[in-house]
Amino acid sequence: MRPDAAAALSAAGRFARRPGLWLFLLLVAAIFLMPSAGILFHALFPDDRHLIYSRATFLELTLAHCQLVALSSLAAAAAGIGLGVFATRESGREFAPVVRAMAAIGQTFPPVAVLALAIPALGYGAPPALAALALYAALPVLEGSITGLDGVPASARDAARGIGFSPFELLWRIELPLAAPFILAGLRTAVIINIGTATIASSAGALSLGSPILEGLSAANPAYVVEGGIIAALLAICVDRGFDWLSELLKQK
């Protein structure tokens, strides 16, 4: 065999051995093939008439779910990293203990309770869900940012200042890259929690993968529950794998 063909083959082999890839393909297959799985559900749940959730396609549900999670996580990342940077600067040092305590205490609040509190304050639908998810998700990011930025060795800071870095360059080129693994870990926790909470947000009127689950539960139709549950579980597992891959990339750099 020619060496480049062998290399390509072994690369393909490595590619195929990534469980994340297979899980992702499984997710895509579940999203698109679920409507044709009627026979399977008929075999599993013989007495129900309407077995495939049809208020929205599974693609629409997945995209709405991802949108909810992505927007809230982006806002949370901006707020969490921003506040973390502020609390580790000279001017914000004084706020560090109270911000840290807030992040720790806030994370003991169950995400469902935060979602529930957002409804009286902001009403029904996607916006309150978005706000609750963002608010909650900011806390682990904030904690990761403070831990990461505080852990930057003084020698690295001094060296950067020594070669004439401005405070912004110091932050952007030294401190943030060194803190990145901790920030990423916080973001990962945040996103995984958000995927779970977004499922529950459908009880407050936001469209998500929780919509078929909740409708199945209230109408005693287990097929809907299984359909939504499988896709939601696969989505969460795939995203978690994605973060695994990202943190490996970060380590290699």
Partner 1 sequence: MAAGVLFPKPHDQVLLALAGFGAAGILAGSFLNRAPNRLANGVATALWHAPPLEAGAAMAGLAALAALAFHPKDKPRSAMTFGAAMLILWGCLSGAGRLASLFALSDPSAARYSLGAAFWILMATALLALLDAAQRANLGLLARAGLIAALGAGFALTANSGAFADLSLAKEFASHRDIFFIELRRHIVLVASAVFFALAISAPLTALVLRRPSARGLVFSGLGILQTIPSIALFGLLMAPLTALSQQFPLLRAWGINGAGAAPAIIALTLYSLLPLTRGFFTGVSEVAADVKDAAAGMGFSARQTFLLVELPLAWPALVSGLRVVTIQAIGLAAVAALIGAGGLGAFVFQGIGQYALDLVLVGAIPIILQALAASFGFQMLLAARRGS
Stretch that binds partner 1, among 54-62, 143-151, 162-170, 189-197 (CB under 8 A): 189-197
Q: Taking the mean position of all CA atoms in its chain, how far away is CA 83?
A: 20
Which one-letter amino acid corresponds to residue 190? Answer: A
Using CB under 8 A as the binding rule, whether residue 22 contacts partner 1 is answered as: no
Which one-letter amino acid corresponds to residue 138? Answer: A
Q: Are 239 and 227 in contact (CB under 8 A)?
A: no
Using CB under 8 A as the binding rule, whether residue 134 contacts partner 1 is answered as: no
Using CB under 8 A as the binding rule, whether residue 183 contacts partner 1 is answered as: no
Closest CB to partner 1 among residues 177, 222: 222
Using CB under 8 A as the binding rule, whether residue 230 contacts partner 1 is answered as: yes
How wide is the angle at C-alpha 171 spanned by C-alphas 169 and 173, nearest 5°?
60
Structure tokens at 222: 């287990």
Distance CA(141)–CA(176), nearest Å, equals 13
Distance CA(44)–CA(54), nearest Å, equals 19
Using CB under 8 A as the binding rule, whether residue 150 contacts partner 1 is answered as: no
Using CB under 8 A as the binding rule, whether residue 117 contacts partner 1 is answered as: yes
Distance CA(44)–CA(53), nearest Å, equals 15
Using CB under 8 A as the binding rule, whether residue 113 contacts partner 1 is answered as: yes
Contact map string, positions 49 to 88, toward partner 1, x by CB under 8 A: ----------------------------------------
CA proximity to 72, closest of 2, 21, 138? 138
How wide is the angle at C-alpha 195 spanned by C-alphas 55 and 108, nearest 5°?
135
- Which one of residues 4, 16, 47, 108 is an interface residue with partner 1 (CB under 8 A)? 108
By the criterion CB under 8 A, which residues form the site for partner 1?
44-45, 94-95, 97-98, 101-102, 105, 108-113, 116-117, 119-121, 124, 192, 195-196, 199-200, 203-204, 209-210, 213-214, 216-217, 222, 225-226, 228-230, 232-233, 236-237, 239-240
